Structure 1
Amino acid sequence: MTEPVTITLAGPPQGKGRARAFLRGGHIGHYTPEKTRSYEGMIRTVAMDQMAGKIPFDEPVEFVLRAVFTAPASWSNRKRTQAYTGEIKPGKKPDLDNIAKAWNDALNGVVYRDDSLICRMTLDKRYGPQSLVVVTVRPMPTFRDSQVLEVAA
């Protein structure tokens, strides 16, 4: 497969929660919090619909993620406009790397064979009129592809 795959999930972006540890019968175990499992499940469902029977990438890929947050309702119209035009950035939780981790893990085996195939990541957090996350996964351009793109530009 050489065509990019774009997956959109409406709703507030969520980060991957830390694994929790427990002690039972003298043994330590770990589990992923329910909220994270649920969110990753929603991502996988949307990704499977988008893939529609296509074979996952088995080559180096580029991963592009954009997390969009709505501006707080308490903000003035002027401040909201500044947020939507990018003058104000969402320096708030969840951390961008944790959002990416949730998506990377959820797309394993669905969009790409393994997240070790990701060779380039572009991550972005911004404000917008609707909360959502948009992820595009595409094959990494080869050196020859890069030369063709430079000549064309």
Structure 2
Amino acid sequence: METAASDCPVYRITIPGLLRAKGRPRFGNGRTFTDAKTVQAEKHIQRHAIEQIGKPCLTGPLHVSLTINIAPPPSWSRKKTADALAGRILPTSRPDIDNQMKTAADALNGIAWKDDAQIVDARLSRRYGPESVTVIEVRPL
């Protein structure tokens, strides 16, 4: 946790690996459920969040910044990798960044905040980086 200039706490969570997009809901036996891969991805986020910030379970309106860094594929040439790391090539492939945000937002319910409906301001960014990692910063407004 860091403190911003306005003395509002800033909670920072770093999640290694690629951030999975929220899967479509599944239906069976008259009920709706989340697919196993999404559940596993949410547990991965939850584990790292609890280790790093505990369970502040913030209330009130929140600002969330989600920064996703994606390692360039190893099959890319040195030049293409260098261009990607310099920001001259941007990741425009799937998964969609809004679906990745949904996974993180749902995973942090009851940990970083009571409910992701509290997020009233969000900044999403996806770029190539030396390693795949997601950084989530949360601060009360």
TM norm structure 2? 0.90
Q: Structure 1 unaligned runs (5+)?
A: 141-153
For 1:92 and 1:45, the matched residues in 2 are separated by 27
Q: Which runs of at least 4 in structure 1 moved beyond 2 Å after TM superposition?
A: none
1:12 aligns with 2:18: yes
For 1:76 and 1:55, the matched residues in 2 are separated by 44
Give the Å deviation of 1:93: 1.3
Give the Å deviation of 1:51: 2.1
TM norm structure 1? 0.83
> Tell me, what secondary structure is at the counterpart of 1:4?
strand
Partner of 2:3: none
Q: CA RMSD in A?
A: 1.4
On the 8 A contact 1:63/1:138 being kept in 2, the answer is yes
> Tell me, what secondary structure is at the counterpart of 2:9?
coil
Per-residue CA deviations over 1:47-84 (Å, capped at 9, x if unaligned) read: 111223x5321121101001111111121111111101
Partner of 2:4: none
% identical equivalent positions = 36
On the 8 A contact 1:13/1:94 being kept in 2, the answer is no
On the 8 A contact 2:87/2:128 being kept in 1, the answer is yes
Partner of 2:66: 65
1:138 aligns with 2:109: no
Partner of 2:124: 123
> Tell me, what secondary structure is at the counterpart of 1:55?
coil
Q: How many residues align?
A: 135
For 1:16 and 1:40, the matched residues in 2 are separated by 9
Letter matched to residue 7 of structure 1? I
On the 8 A contact 2:19/2:41 being kept in 1, the answer is no
Letter matched to residue 116 of structure 1? A
Partner of 1:34: 36
On the 8 A contact 1:13/1:68 being kept in 2, the answer is no
On the 8 A contact 1:68/1:133 being kept in 2, the answer is yes
> Tell me, what secondary structure is at the counterpart of 1:92?
coil
Larger helix proportion, structure 1 or 2?
1
